[in-house]
Amino acid sequence: SIDILEDASGPSKGGKMSPTTGDVVTVHFSMQLMDATLVCDTKAEAGDTAGEPLRFRVGQGSVIRGLDEALPKVVVGQTVRLIISPDFAYGSRGFYPTVPANSSLIVRLELLHVEAS
């Protein structure tokens, strides 16, 4: 399951665009385990893609299911905090070495841009 815990910032739906399956989105996000261990952060200063947002097509399986299913509920400019259960994240396999098997994730997701398909 996916729980949207808070609208951290940004507009409500009034006239703002939400993505649908097939749209290309640009997002910043951070992902951590329930014990607050950081898994990844697109705004981090280190790594191959330091500070670069992530761009992908919604509903194509290029990200974890929880992100694909949460995005249509978010509008451009909004930041939300999600709790994503293992079956919507990396499941019983985990994502070695950073995400153990059967881990729930806390995700802070900021929707920057939507390109309609």
- The DSSP code sequence of 25-78 is EEEEEEEEETT--EEEETT-SSSTTTTPPEEEETTSSSS-HHHHHHGGG--TT-
Give ∠ CA 15-16-19 in degrees, rounded to 5: 130
Domains of the chain: 2-115 (3.10.50.40)
pLDDT in tens, 94-108: 999 999 999 999 999
What pLDDT, on the 0 to 100 scale, is given for residue 29? 94
Tell me which residues of the chain have a pLDDT lower than 50: none
Per-residue pLDDT of 71-88, as tens digits, reads 999 999 899 999 999 999
Handedness of CA 46, 112, 114, 40 (dihedral sign): positive
Longest dimension (CA), the chain: 42
